[in-house]
């Protein structure tokens, strides 16, 4: 969907304005509506892009679900003891001293 962001922001602002008037806080309603609308608009753009990508590959794009496949690229396997390969992060820092 090419107009996902504009559509999402427009619908969010309209819904936010209605809720803002209902709750006597128009500024908060419009701001919240635009924020939620922008988020849903970006989600609509991403789903539209995935469908176009599927059509270009020749999958048809009718599933709309998660594609399951096997790939070793970028995956990390778990060891038998449940630990994973790679860096475990920081040391967690030290505790503060008492008085």
| Residue 49 domain flag | yes
Structural domain of 39? 26-55
Number of domains in the chain: 1
| Residue 47 domain flag | yes
Rg, the chain, Cα only: 23
| Residue 20 domain flag | no
* 42-48 long-range contacts, CB within 8 A, separation 24+: 42/4, 42/5, 42/8, 43/4, 43/8, 44/1, 44/4, 44/5, 44/7, 44/8, 45/1, 45/4, 45/5, 47/1, 48/1, 48/2, 48/4
| Residue 45 domain flag | yes
On the question of pLDDT at 40 being above 80, the answer is yes
How is the chain split among helix, strand and coil, in percent rounded to 5? 50, 0, 45
Tokens of 73: 């690229």
| Residue 4 domain flag | no
On the question of pLDDT at 16 being above 60, the answer is yes
Please give the model's pTM, rounded to 2 decimal places.
0.49
**What pLDDT is recorded for position 36?**
92
6 or 74: which carries more pLDDT confidence? Answer: 6
| Residue 72 domain flag | no
| Residue 48 domain flag | yes
| Residue 38 domain flag | yes
């Amino acid at each position: 969907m090419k107009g996902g962001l504009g559509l999402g922001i427009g619908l969010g602002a309209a819904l936010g304005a209605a809720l803002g008037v209902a709750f006597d806080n128009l500024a908060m309603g419009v701001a919240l509506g635009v924020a939620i609308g922008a988020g849903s608009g970006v989600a609509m753009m991403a789903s539209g892009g995935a469908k176009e990508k599927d059509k270009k590959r020749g999958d048809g794009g009718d599933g709309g679900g998660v594609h399951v496949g096997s790939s070793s690229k970028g995956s990390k396997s778990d060891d038998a003891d449940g630990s994973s390969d790679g860096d475990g992060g920081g040391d967690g820092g030290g505790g503060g001293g008492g008085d």
